[in-house]
Structure 1
């Protein structure tokens, strides 16, 4: 959480996974749910706090596979690795490149003739066609 809170040992009900989840993370999640409701945003919600990297990416994949959807909000409220922002899962990390690569893969499957370029970082290196420098 942005507040760096710790699990509240006094709050051990279902709302904090019986004391295992950070209270501010739970509140962040609930705030986004309310935001989505107010603005009539179709929400796919999974509050599972013990997901593996593959499970997280499968949830994101199912979002990208929704038909007739062009805009996505992916909201992660939970543990992140310091200075990298990578999401912490029970068996590793998920980073932005994982998400963007998955998006690129799904979109290309949906319409292989459309250009869904995500920029040079996700594209294989291209051969350089520069002339040699004069000596």
Structure 2
């Protein structure tokens, strides 16, 4: 399992993304992206080279995916990995883990939003801030 802090990912992505994407994503800066590919390979008794043959990808590409080195996720490649490893859910391959307090806060706000159809204040604030930025009024 490879853990990469979201803050580190955002630091490398800043030149590729607009400020609003980075600002919104940075609300999860203390979360981790968990990459489980190496564990999945070990569980199945195969190597990255074996997976490369199964998926048609380069071994280097498999290594980059396993180590979180790629800048973006290619959906066709991820689906190919899921198919080759007989995965039934994306979370078997990747996961985002929030800090416990943020996880609890998001659970509450999400449930309330769904129940009331009323956008939480934190989301309203984000919306307002992004709207102002998009109009150059920040």
TM-score range, shorter chain: under 0.3
Identify the structure with bigger relative contact order (alpha carbons < 8 Å, sequence gap 6+).
2
**Whose strand proportion is higher, 1 or 2?**
2
**Whose helix proportion is higher, 1 or 2?**
2
Structure with bigger gyration radius: 1
User: Structure 2 length normalisation: TM-score?
Assistant: 0.25
User: Structure 1 length normalisation: TM-score?
Assistant: 0.25
